Amino acid sequence: MSDKTYGFETLSVHAGAAPDPATGARAQPIYQTTAYVFEDADHAAALFNLQTVGFIYSRLSNPTNAALEARLATLEGGRGCTVASSGHAAQVLALFPLMQPGAEIVASSRLYGGSLQQMKNTYPKFGWKAEIVDADTPDNFKRAVTENTRCFFIESLANPGGVVSDIEAIARIAEAAGVPLLVDNTLATPWLCKPIDYGATLIVHSTTKFLSGTGTSMGGAVVDSGKFDWSVKGSTGGGKFPSLAGPEPAYHGLNFHETFGDMAYTFHSHAVGLRDLGPTQAPFNAWLTMLGIETLGLRMERHCANAIRVARHLEKHPAVAWVNYAGLPSNRYHQLGKKYLPRGTGSVFTFGVKGGYDVGVKVVDGVELFSHLANIGDAKSLIIHPASTTHRQLSDEQRVAAGAGPDVLRLSIGIETVEDIIADLDQALARATA
């Protein structure tokens, strides 16, 4: 494509892909291969020394994956992207260049339960510490910063509670602390929110969700803004990010920041992260995700339109105690939603049923159109009771803090006829409270 500025929907269809030069095929090919032939010995050596760009082995890069990476970087307004095998793999891959034993993360308490589990129980095995704070008060991040802090981590639109983070305020604190801000943008997608525009350094996605859109393909992604100075020093004078702005022993002392500039992070993620950790996305999944992104704008528009209708209905339902959806004027995050997500506040939200845990379980057992499963972002409407499933590893206090208390049901509103969605919830609530 030319340098002309195109609209989001146009870029969703065309960015990163072009007719295949070998065959003329208009659809993006699936390069189902493990390795690539070198032109000669000098070409091979240049590739392995990172002196030229190309393909070596599909654990490191693959043409289908590269097309998806280009599309996601374009849609998020980033400089580069690395795709991974899942959203959780993308989170580990995102943190890998930043962390070392003793390093700390300051993370929001309003995260997906699996992410909190990573922070609290898995990352300490790497020697990484996570300080969990209430992101509703951005200054909590400032108070939690220490000499060992290496990043902040938030969700733009939190799962499951639909909490909207004040990205711009937290980004200013991260900048003052000299650390990058990582934003999980899975629930919002770049169609609803572009965190880089508000100061975020890195974006992570579970591409399994809305980007893919049909519940068919696992994947994750890390998008780098290309705007962070990885040579920043700590208070003791040493570099905070030696993996990116120090000598890399595996490449004869190469300094990624000095060599690749604003592409340093992305080159490191491929040349070191994917090489050593190995969480590579399958090219077939990348192809399915590329296909899904072509309709992202259309789907998100319908998702959001349906979600606000359902939320308004539930807010007045006699069996419902409360609804937490930022699209409702009564919601505490409504103003933040208007600022960061002006097109709509997504289609994933929670509500509380009168009767607590027992009624919540009965509702998920009583739906007919909804699917009771542990996923979001599907074209189909989905429901789950987080306290008994996705957040069950957490303590009662942690579940409540994460917005997943015993009475909570999480909905992922699909693109079906909205009257049918509402009717299914009505009959399930009636049966559960009979």
DSSP one-letter string for 309-372: HHHHHHHT-TTEEEEE-TTSTTSTTHHHHHHH-TT---SEEEEEETTHHHHHHHHHHH-SSSEE
State the Cα–Cα distance between residues 381 and 424, nearest whole angstrom: 10
Q: Tell me if 215 is assigned to some domain.
A: yes
Is residue 13 located within the same domain as residue 128? yes
Determine which of 177-186, 194-203, 334-343, 394-403 has the lowest per-residue pLDDT on average: 394-403
Position 2 scores a pLDDT of: 55
Whether 310 has a pLDDT exceeding 70, the answer reads yes
Assign 96 to helix, strand or coil.
Answer: coil
Residue 195 lies inside a defined structural domain of this protein = yes
Of the residues 240, 273, 292, the one at which a domain ends: 292
Confidence of residue 395 (pLDDT cuts 50, 70, 90): confident
Asked if 159 and 112 touch (Cβ cutoff 8 Å), the reply is: yes
> Cα separation of 77 and 34, whole Å?
30
The span from the CA of 244 to the CA of 201, in Å, is 14
Question: Which of 292, 313, 344 is the C-terminal boundary of a domain?
Answer: 292
User: Does 1 map to a domain?
Assistant: no
Segment 67-102, tens digit of pLDDT? 999 999 999 999 999 999 999 999 999 999 999 999
3-state secondary structure of 84: strand
Overall residue count recorded for the chain in this entry: 434
- Say yes or no: 229 and 332 in one domain: no
Please check whether residue 158 is in contact with residue 337, taking contact to mean a CB–CB distance below 8 angstroms.
no
What is d(CA 331, CA 329) in angstroms, rounded to the nearest whole number? 5
Do residues 283 and 349 share a domain?
A: no
Q: Clarify whether residues 283 and 300 are in a common domain.
A: no
Q: Quote the CA–CA distance of 219 and 293 in Å, as a whole number.
A: 13
Check whether 324 has a pLDDT greater than 80: yes
Please check the confidence at residue 160 and state whether its pLDDT lies above 90: no
pLDDT in tens, 50-65: 999 999 999 999 999 9
2 is a domain residue: no
Biggest alpha carbon–alpha carbon distance for the chain: 75
Contact in structure between 76 and 220 (CB atoms under 8 Å): no
Average pLDDT over residues 305-326: 97
Task: Tell me what pLDDT residue 434 has.
Answer: 87
Residues 6+ apart with CB under 8 A from 321: 351, 352, 353, 354, 407
Domain end: 233, 262, 292, which one? 292
For residue 183, the number of C-alpha atoms closer than 13 Å in the C-beta half-sphere is 32
Given a contact cutoff of 8 angstroms between Cβ atoms, the answer to whether 282 and 205 are in contact is: no
Q: Could you report the per-residue pLDDT of 199-252, keeping only the tens digit for each?
A: 999 999 999 999 999 999 999 999 999 999 999 998 777 899 999 999 999 999
Nearest-angstrom CA–CA distance, 434 and 431: 5
The helix, strand and coil proportions of the chain, stated in percent and rounded to the nearest 5, come to 40, 15, 45
Do 236 and 336 share a domain, yes or no? no
Check whether residue 280 and residue 304 sit in a common domain: no
Mean pLDDT of 379-386: 94
Tokens representing 360? 């919540």
Confidence tier at 388 by pLDDT (50, 70, 90): confident
Same domain flag for 200 and 62: yes
Position 404 pLDDT exceeds 60: yes
- Residue 311: per-residue pLDDT: 98
Share of the chain above pLDDT 70, in %: 98
pLDDT value at 293 more than 80: yes
- Looking at the fold, whether 31 and 55 belong to one and the same domain comes out as yes
Q: Are residues 262 and 178 in the same domain?
A: yes
Q: Please tell me whether residues 198 and 246 are part of one structural domain.
A: yes
Q: Which residue has the higher pLDDT, 386 or 189?
A: 189
188 φ, ψ to 5°? -85, -40
Instruction: Let me know whether 207 and 67 are in one domain.
Output: yes
Domain that holds residue 116: 8-292
106-127 pLDDT, tens per residue? 999 988 888 998 999 999 999 9
CATH number, residue 178: 3.40.640.10
* Overall number of domains in the chain: 2
Mean pLDDT confidence for 355-362: 91
What is the predicted pLDDT for the residue at 161? 73
The β-bridge partners of 153 are: 107, 182
Scanning 77-166, the segments in alpha helix (DSSP H) are 87-95, 113-117, 139-144
Instruction: Confirm whether 19 is domain-assigned.
Output: yes
Report the pLDDT value the prediction gives residue 402, as an integer from 0 to 100.
67
CATH of the domain at 355: 3.90.1150.10
Are 142 and 272 in a shared domain? yes
> How big is the CA angle at 153 (ends 225 and 308), to the nearest 5 degrees?
90
- The position carrying tokens 């260049």 is 97
Q: What is the pLDDT of residue 3?
A: 54
Give the chain's mean pLDDT.
95
Does residue 82 lie in a domain region? yes
